[in-house]
Amino acid sequence: MLANLLAAKGAFVGGWFVFLFVGERLFRAAPPPSSHKRVFRNAGLWLLTIVFSVGVVAPMTAWGVNQSLWDRPGWMIAGAAGAGFILLDLIILDCWVYWLHRAYHKVPVMWRLHEVHHRDEFLDTTSAMRFHITEILLSASLRLILIAVLAIPLLTVILFETILLFVSFFHHSNLRLPGKLERVLSLFVVTPSIHWVHHRAKTSDTNSNYAACLSVWDRVFRSKSSTKRMTGMKIGLQDLEDKGFIGLLVMPFRGSSI
């Protein structure tokens, strides 16, 4: 069952990535760097992430689901009530990711891992899965706490991961959207205009706009930046440059920019 679910997830997410990858090159919001080195660097981190996620994180998550602290009664998993609890689980997981993301920016040892993601000096769909595998492992481990306490079903977890990747590819993308459409979407979900500000090379903006899927969390928890996305805004980290592939792999173990 797990293999089939992962295959379906991979097919949907892969198709969405190709759609956005092509789209952002036909309808780009900002001119990309002339060098393709960062794309290949990101692709290397992607490959490690995919192999690690399939080989380690997915089995660990399936195991975690089986360690739930209680079993949900039938009325909570069937019919309209079941659909309602699935929606509630998705909202809770998204809120959890918001606070986890915020912690990665505030806790020095966690920032050392997350900094790899923020060193990218341009944003497009290849940035969406540019993470250090140690961060992937830590995030999955901390999420297991929530899964165990709430007895969240495996299918719901994989559904959330699929939605999270869909939105992550979208809000990292260099896709040019009609202004009115993006303004309407940004009221509900995180869009490029929101997330590009989070990756702006200015510390006050880097430490804002933490939401992953639903944009409401930054408004509710007062972490929304007032900065508007501008063409040509500097992406990355203030006063810091990106590193090569090996440099990014060893960087968390050599210190932090904090």
| 166-200 pLDDT, tens digit each | 999 999 999 999 999 999 999 999 999 999 999 99
Q: How far apart are CA 142 and CA 95, in angstroms?
A: 13
- Hey, which residues does 240 pair with through a beta bridge? 237
Mean pLDDT of the 55-67 span = 91
* Residue 257, pLDDT score: 56
The burial class, CB within 10 Å (0-12 / 13-18 / 19+), for 258 is exposed
What phi, psi does 40 have (nearest 5°)?
Answer: -70, -35
Q: What is the pLDDT of residue 14?
A: 95
Pick from 49-63, 121-135, 208-222: least confident: 49-63
Mean pLDDT, all residues of the chain: 93
- Calculate mean pLDDT across residues 85-104: 98
Secondary structure letter of residue 240 according to DSSP: B
- The answer to whether 193 and 181 are in contact (CB under 8 A) is no
* Cα gap 126→50, rounded to integer Å: 13
For residue range 136-170, list pLDDT tens digits in order.
999 999 999 999 999 999 999 999 999 999 999 99
